[in-house]
Amino acid sequence: MKISSPLTSFKVDYPRNTAIPVIVSSPHSGRFYPSDFLSSASLSLFELQRIEDRFMDQLLEDAPDFGATLLSANFSRAWCDVNRDWREVDGEMFNPVPPEDEVISSAKVQAGFGVIPRCISQGRPIYRHPLELSELRKRISTVWLPYHEALDALLEETSQRFGYAILLDLHSMPKLPYARSCDVVLGDLHGKSCDQNIIDKIENIIKNKYHSVRRNIPYSGGYITQHYGRPERKIHTVQIEICRSLYLNSATLQPGGGFMETKQNMRHFLATISDWLL
């Protein structure tokens, strides 16, 4: 099955070798910013790029070499965040206000990080003026819905073919402000989104290349993990957060000195997963 991608919503890279029941998702690495969005934003492109999971798609681009399917967003997270429910909307951002049945309040929405983000960090708003309600619906229909239709179809096809599916949802995170920080955080909703044996295996593989790994603290899983992780239906989902300081120059937002090492570590991770499943 080949999925077409309307507009610039997403890209699917299919296995180049023997397929394995793994789908790798990169929902926050998109770098496309519509020109009308940039002209109306109160922040520069450089500032908006700070909330990308920058270059995560490039770190993962070899996934099809090891039999996995790679789904990556092309559009900016600042424009539309597909790791949110489509109803996680800050109604006050729009004129007119959306109907009640199209709005869900959540901690993310209240912090300004809904499906259409209000800000890039606390106190740094993206927009000067309220958006038209039609703009919300346009973004949901042109990028949010196609991305999730594609992910749902890939999981369904993989599950039917292999009897189960593993979804790895990849993100990058800032260096954690703990006395003992870590390189990677694995999220499985505290055991609800993935079989214990699978996440144990993932953790053991990652520990071979990274100094420290945490589970669920402070990231237990976003909307994609919550919505698609259904171990009882043999769909296992793990959110993987990789510290940006390992591979990104925070001053320039360009690949840092550890970029190629991190990419090699991801290749090792995917190759080991592939060998295990085959």
Whole-number Å distance between alpha carbons of 239 and 250:
23
The amino acid at residue 249 is N
What pLDDT is recorded for position 1? 45
Q: What is the pLDDT of residues 194-208, one digit of tens each?
A: 999 999 999 999 998
What pLDDT is recorded for position 176? 87
pLDDT above 90 as % of the chain: 90
Q: What is the pLDDT of residues 221-278, one digit of tens each?
A: 999 999 999 999 999 999 999 999 999 999 999 999 999 999 999 999 999 999 999 9
Helix, coil or strand: residue 256 = coil
Whole-number Å distance between alpha carbons of 224 and 244:
21
Residue 94 phi, psi dihedral angles, 5° rounding: -125, 150
Residue 142 phi, psi dihedral angles, 5° rounding: -90, -25
Architecture label for domain 10-32+42-75+137-277 = 3-Layer(aba) Sandwich (3.40)
pLDDT above 70 as % of the chain: 96
What pLDDT is recorded for position 8? 61
Checking if the pLDDT of 6 tops 80, the result is no
What pLDDT is recorded for position 103? 94
Lowest mean pLDDT among 21-35, 131-145, 205-219: 205-219
Whole-number Å distance between alpha carbons of 9 and 7:
6
Whole-number Å distance between alpha carbons of 185 and 203:
9
Given a contact cutoff of 8 angstroms between Cβ atoms, the answer to whether 268 and 208 are in contact is yes
What pLDDT is recorded for position 215? 95
Give the sheet arrangement for strand 184-187, strand by strand.
10-13, 69-73, 22-26, 165-173, 235-243, 184-187, 213-215
Checking if the pLDDT of 87 tops 90, the result is yes
Bigger pLDDT: 253 or 1? 253
Mean pLDDT, rounded, of the chain: 93
Residue ranges per structural domain of the chain: 10-32+42-75+137-277
Burial of 129 (0-12, 13-18, 19+ CB in 10 A): exposed
b or e along 181-214 (b: 16 or more beta carbons within 10 Å of the residue's beta carbon)? ebbbbbbbbeeebbeeebbeebbebbeebbeebb
Q: What is the pLDDT of residues 125-184, one digit of tens each?
A: 999 999 999 999 999 999 999 999 999 999 999 999 999 999 999 999 999 887 577 899
Give the number of other CB atoms < 10 A from CB of residue 178.
Answer: 10
What pLDDT is recorded for position 179? 57
What pLDDT is recorded for position 121? 82
